[in-house]
Amino acid sequence: MAFAVMALTLFFMAVGYANNLIYIFFFFLLSVAMTGMVVTNLNVNSVDFGEVLGADITTGEEGRVRITVVNSSDVERFNIETYFDKTKVSKSFSLQGTERSVVEVPFVADKRGLVPLPRLILQSRFPFELLRAWRVFKTPGNVIVYPKRSGSKIFPRGSTDESHANSVGLFRDHRIYQSGDSVRRIDWKASARRQDLMVKNFEEPEKPSLSLDWQQTEGLGDIETRLSQLALWVDEAESQRFEYSLHLGGLILSASSGKEHWRNCMQSLALAQGKDLS
């Protein structure tokens, strides 16, 4: 827009003063802008959307959908950006000739489950950032949106399998008591000294296992709230490096930890249907 105003000013100067030098200047400026427009178009034209690789998206929170983009030409493409309709634009990236790359695109969903992604737009303003060229991919695919994480961070009573709580591991250090920690692990002497509840930290093998169950959320009312609570516990368990299992109606995900297990649990929660849970 500003460029158009500037170009128009130059044009009126050229015509008004009948100055051929300004005409030359104006026409060359215009030609460079036009060439820039063609280059912008070329830059985007050979960049294709590949596939949706997956995403860790929680309802109501901004997440990143991982997609592949492919440069089908053998020349480098610069400053490509991508975004889902009506959401934020990704960081700009460049693609080498024939390069295939994974890009994270911001996305916000307002309900859990298998959600169809909105239109995906690939765009670029290269070279001069004056004009924008874009390509639209109408149905890029689906993505699993995890339930919203809400509720209490305190793990439910009985979720800790006390049989696992042993002190086989060597004592490492003290840490502040967290919900879910066994009362037996509290070091009362240390707590008295520090004016805070301290528990003994042992080497890994002694970490207790959590058992998260649909039934534990019975008192919370509707399904979504219960799923949200379970999602929060799964998240907390993972971040506190517990081993945890999930019982969801007939579905049992045995105790484990790690990103993959967390993702399986969250996906199960995302796709859970009311009739399967009861």
Partner 1 sequence: MNRQFFAQKYFSLAVLCSMAMVAFEVTPWMAFFAFGLLVWKWGVEKYQWPVLARRWTGLLSVLLLVQVLVQYRTIIGQEPSYTLLVGLSALRVMDYGNDRDHKFVVLLSFILLSVKALFSIDIYWIVPSAFSFWGLWYALLPEQVSARGKTLLRIFALSIPLAVILFFGFPRVVMPWALSRGSTYGQIGFSDELNPGRVAEIAATTQLAFRAKIHQLPLRESRELYWRGSVLSTSQGLSWRPVRNRLNAEPEVPQEHGLTYEVAIEPTSQNFLFTLEGTRNVFMESGRVFSLGPSVFRSLRPLVSTTVYHGEWIKDFVDTNEATVRDLEVPELTGRVLAWVEETRRTHHSLEDRLQALQDFYSKNKFVYTIAPGVYGANGLEEFLFDRRRGFCEHFAGSYATLARALGIPARVVIGYQGGRYNPLGEFWKVAQKDAHAWVEVFHHGHWNRVDPTSWVAPLRLEIGAEEFFGLSEADQLAFAKSSDWRGKKDQQFLLWDRLTFFMEDMNYRWSYFLMDFDRTSQDSIWAALGKYKVFTVIGALFVVLLCLLLARGIFATRKNLSDEQRLLLMIEMWGRQNSLSRAAAEPPLQYLQRLEDAFPKLQQVLKAISRYYDLKMYAVAGSDQSAVELQKQWKKALREIE
Closer Cβ to partner 1, 25 or 134, answer by number: 25
Question: Which residues on adjacent β-strands are paired with residue 135?
Answer: 122
Q: At closest approach, how far in Å is the CB of 150 from partner 1?
A: 35
Q: At closest approach, how far in Å is the CB of 160 from partner 1?
A: 41
CA distance 46 to 69: 10
Q: At closest approach, how far in Å is the CB of 68 from partner 1?
A: 6
- Contact residues: partner 1, CB under 8 A: 2-3, 6, 9-10, 13-32, 34-36, 38-39, 42, 48, 50-51, 68, 70, 72, 74-76, 78-79, 94, 96-98, 100-102, 126-130
Q: At closest approach, how far in Å is the CB of 38 from partner 1?
A: 7
Closer Cβ to partner 1, 139 or 273, answer by number: 139
Closer Cβ to partner 1, 98 or 215, answer by number: 98
Angle at 128 between CA 125 and CA 134, to 5 degrees: 15
Closer Cβ to partner 1, 72 or 166, answer by number: 72
Q: Which amino acid is at 11?
A: F
Tokens matching residue 246 = 């999930």
Q: What is the dihedral angle through the alpha carbons of 171, 177, 178, 180, rounded to the nearest 10 degrees?
A: 70
Q: At closest approach, how far in Å is the CB of 127 from partner 1?
A: 5
DSSP letter for each residue of 156-181: PTT-B-GGG----SPEEEEEE--TT-
Crossing angle of helices 20-45 and 2-17, in 10° steps, is: 150
